[in-house]
A and B are shown apart, each in its own frame.
Chain A
């Protein structure tokens, strides 16, 4: 555990040592700002029957942030260490492959959540000017951040996997972007195709990220969605672990 904390600390710190980390935060803040403007416009014209938090998802900014930012966060994780050779120094100490993968993933998730924090400020602004306590309740905000974290974990685990495959950060980013867009397209498909009794359609319905995120934003925590996200995340982390182990395969 001691080793895990040391690794996690270094991984997290390295986001803030590099310019990339700040650029990511700035980009997320900018995009959140845009979506805030859209939100204010919507609120200013018509009365809306949905919670404020859900409106964030109705704009495409959320997905844009998710698709663009997670590859940038994760591309560095393994690829840079492999390219610079520090992977060799790291792996010739008594760390386990699992500890390394877990620490890198955790650090990426924590950084990703930090980048989302400005959103809280946006919500705070709305609350302040709405003069209503009901605009924001702990349930919806908590559900929203849980959703952000879970769906983010899925994309970050995709990124971890992509980064472990290659020595080039660019390649890693492209692979994880493609995987992310693939998942996003499935979700889009799931929204277009009505749910029927056929197994294909039912299987596809699990990929309906949009509806699931709407639920989270309403403060509804659907265990099916939670299990689905956690499973996908673990699947890709497991694949990452196998890739990291593969250097020791005969």
Chain B
């Protein structure tokens, strides 16, 4: 759906996007993750044919975004950063105008506007003036606008910025519901968002794509072997010898907790899940156990890990 090759965009004295290449398949939900100024918005602007690239090519649905921008623009629904709308218009009126501008016929635009208003939960505010709506509603108007002409590709630049948690959840659900029917490219600097919505993550920093994988794979790749934490009521020495002799435990650390419980942090051999083994061992010794968890690396750790060395380089 999207094919980007060696895309570069330079502004006066600054390279916003630096020789990036990536592909997005039809039906995927891909998150562009990166701090502010990483080149996410610029990439999106180029993909939506608003701005030309300095060099390199980008294709959407097989059409070049520069030379065949009409075809590209017909196929995308783009919601820019900060979701600009005409504040003086009413919701339904605005969506209808957008549908018409996007080339939909009179009857078709009426149909589609009603559909997307329902889809985005805007039916009750159709007669309200956009400028007087809450931010959550405005954001949904922006989303409805991006969806109104049933585009193949939906590009959303920071769709949940500035919303309260409840509104964020609604917007996320809405975006998730688009999976399969549409290809979605979302940019964000909020990590849990990507974990929740996206099938794949592109981590951008300083205009480059540093990593591209599913959130799960990224976690696996970065975490190596994840840690297991067990809190067991047993003598410290008994626990230490037990872990020391166990073939699947590579590293361990036992610290004293409250009420006679010992906190064990275990690093197992790569690829081995030792949680059931631990449970069996505890049962054999008839100890008590009150916690058994796997300490997963969050995307945040990965993000920090990926972005850290390069920030030092640039400084």
Q: Which of B94-102, B112-120, B161-169, B277-285 contacts A (4 or more CB under 8 A)?
A: B94-102
Point out the residue from B49, B70, B80, B89 that lies within 8 Å of A89, measured CB to CB.
B80
Question: Is A6's beta carbon under 8 Å from chain B?
Answer: yes
**Given A17-B88, A93-B98, is A2 in contact with B103 using a C-beta cutoff of 8 Å?**
yes
Q: What is the interface residue range for chain A against chain B? A: 20 to 34
Assess the B82–A95 pair: CB atoms within 8 A: no
Chain B residues in 8 Å Cβ range of A2: 100, 103, 105
**Given A2-B105, A3-B103, A92-B78, is A18 in contact with B88 using a C-beta cutoff of 8 Å?**
yes
In the bound assembly, the distance between CA atoms of A248 and B54 in angstroms comes to 11
Q: What residue in chain A is nearest B54 (Cβ atoms)?
A: A250
Assess the A14–B86 pair: CB atoms within 8 A: yes
Question: Is A94's beta carbon under 8 Å from chain B?
Answer: yes
Question: Is B73's beta carbon under 8 Å from chain A?
Answer: yes
Q: What residue in chain B is nearest A16 (Cβ atoms)?
A: B88
In the bound assembly, the distance between CA atoms of A250 and B69 in angstroms comes to 14
A106–chain B nearest beta-carbon distance, Å: 15
Question: Is B189's beta carbon under 8 Å from chain A?
Answer: no
In the bound assembly, the distance between CA atoms of A93 and B101 in angstroms comes to 7
**Given A89-B80, A247-B51, A250-B52, is A6 in contact with B101 using a C-beta cutoff of 8 Å?**
yes
In the bound assembly, the distance between CA atoms of A9 and B101 in angstroms comes to 11
Question: Is B48's beta carbon under 8 Å from chain A?
Answer: yes
Assess the B85–A86 pair: CB atoms within 8 A: yes
Question: Is B84's beta carbon under 8 Å from chain A?
Answer: yes
Chain A residues in 8 Å Cβ range of B50: 88, 91-92, 247
Q: What residue in chain B is nearest A14 (Cβ atoms)?
A: B88
Chain A residues in 8 Å Cβ range of B103: 2-3, 94
Q: Mark A1-24, 1 if CB is under 8 A from B, else 0.
A: 011011101100110011000000
Chain A residues in 8 Å Cβ range of B89: 10, 13-14, 17
B19–chain A nearest beta-carbon distance, Å: 17
B107–chain A nearest beta-carbon distance, Å: 12
In the bound assembly, the distance between CA atoms of A239 and B85 in angstroms comes to 27
Q: Mark B171-194, 1 if CB is under 8 A from A, else 0.
A: 000000000000000000000000
Chain B residues in 8 Å Cβ range of A96: 70
Point out the residue from B66, B101, B105 that lies within 8 Å of A90, measured CB to CB.
B101
In the bound assembly, the distance between CA atoms of A6 and B105 in angstroms comes to 11
Question: Is A199's beta carbon under 8 Å from chain B?
Answer: no
In the bound assembly, the distance between CA atoms of A90 and B50 in angstroms comes to 10
Interface centre among B69, B82, B100 (most CB of A within 10 A): B100
Number of A-B pairs whose CB atoms are under 8 Å? 71
Question: Is A60's beta carbon under 8 Å from chain B?
Answer: no
Interface centre among A91, A92, A95 (most CB of B within 10 A): A92
Chain A residues in 8 Å Cβ range of B52: 248-250
Chain A residues in 8 Å Cβ range of B78: 88-89, 92
**Given A92-B76, A247-B51, is A86 in contact with B101 using a C-beta cutoff of 8 Å?**
no
Chain A residues in 8 Å Cβ range of B48: 92
B11–chain A nearest beta-carbon distance, Å: 13
Chain B residues in 8 Å Cβ range of A95: 101
Assess the B74–A86 pair: CB atoms within 8 A: no
Assess the B105–A94 pair: CB atoms within 8 A: no
Chain B residues in 8 Å Cβ range of A88: 45, 50, 78, 80, 84
In the bound assembly, the distance between CA atoms of A249 and B54 in angstroms comes to 10
Assess the A7–B101 pair: CB atoms within 8 A: yes
In the bound assembly, the distance between CA atoms of A84 and B85 in angstroms comes to 8
Assess the B98–A85 pair: CB atoms within 8 A: no
Q: What residue in chain A is nearest B98 (Cβ atoms)?
A: A93
Q: Mark A217-250, 1 if CB is under 8 A from B, else 0.
A: 0000000000000000000000000000001111
Interface centre among B49, B70, B81, B101 (most CB of A within 10 A): B101
**Given A2-B103, A2-B105, A250-B52, is A10 in contact with B97 using a C-beta cutoff of 8 Å?**
yes
In the bound assembly, the distance between CA atoms of A208 and B51 in angstroms comes to 42
Question: Is B145's beta carbon under 8 Å from chain A?
Answer: yes
In the bound assembly, the distance between CA atoms of A198 and B268 in angstroms comes to 97
Assess the B84–A85 pair: CB atoms within 8 A: yes
Assess the A85–B73 pair: CB atoms within 8 A: no
Assess the B100–A6 pair: CB atoms within 8 A: yes
A189–chain B nearest beta-carbon distance, Å: 40
Q: What residue in chain B is nearest A85 (Cβ atoms)?
A: B84
In the bound assembly, the distance between CA atoms of A94 and B89 in angstroms comes to 21
A69–chain B nearest beta-carbon distance, Å: 21
Chain A contact residues, CB within 8 Å of chain B: 2-3, 5-7, 9-10, 13-14, 17-18, 84-86, 88-96, 247-250
Q: List 27 A-B contacts (CB under 8 A).
A: A2-B100, A2-B103, A3-B100, A3-B101, A6-B97, A9-B97, A10-B97, A14-B89, A84-B84, A85-B81, A85-B82, A86-B86, A89-B80, A89-B98, A90-B101, A92-B48, A92-B73, A92-B78, A92-B80, A93-B101, A94-B74, A94-B103, A96-B70, A247-B51, A248-B51, A249-B52, A250-B52
For the complex of A and B, list the 7 residue pairs with the smallest distance between their C-beta atoms, beginning with the closest. Answer: A85-B84, A6-B100, A17-B88, A92-B48, A92-B78, A86-B84, A94-B74
